[in-house]
Amino acid sequence: MPVTNCDTIVRRLKELHDTQLLSWQEIADRDDYRGIPRGTLCSIAHGKPVPKKWRKQLGLPELAPAPVCVSCGSVHAGNCNPARQMVDISAVPVEQRKFILRDMYPKKKG
């Protein structure tokens, strides 16, 4: 199958199911879709993302992992602020949380 995009696949699946009145099982039995579960094909036709496992068979480009920030180890867009750290305060009692947050983020004067 040539490289395509998700919209093309959705259109083709809807054409086979809605226009040609094929069941999802009949579509799954076709050579183009052999091995892909009928529920997965139905989900794709209804706008769900194509699972990574089936992208190559459907002619979609494989997804590359997003680059990770060398400063913080997260994937994000824009500039990283390494001074800003994520802190898990879920184990801290609610009445003490405001003091932790106040100390972490002091008010700027001026």
The model's pLDDT over 26-55, given as tens digits with 9 standing for 90+, comes to 999 999 999 999 999 999 999 898 998 999
Confidence band of 77 (pLDDT split at 50, 70, 90):
low
Specify whether the CB–CB gap between 13 and 38 falls below 8 A.
no
Compute the C-alpha angle 53/55/61, nearest 5°.
130
Instruction: Determine what percent of the chain is predicted with pLDDT higher than 90.
Output: 36
| Distance in angstroms between the alpha carbons of the first and the last residue of the chain | 63
Q: What value does the mean pLDDT take over residues 73-83? A: 67
What pTM did the predictor assign? Answer: 0.56
Confidence band of 5 (pLDDT split at 50, 70, 90):
confident
Query: Reduced to 3 states, what is the DSSP secondary structure of residue 102?
Result: helix
Q: Give the integer Cα–Cα distance in Å for 64 and 83.
A: 29
Query: Reduced to 3 states, what is the DSSP secondary structure of residue 2?
Result: coil
Specify whether the CB–CB gap between 28 and 65 falls below 8 A.
no
Q: What value does the mean pLDDT take over residues 59-66? A: 76
**Gyration radius (Cα) of the chain, Å:** 24
pLDDT, position 14: 95
Segment holding 32, helix H or strand E: none
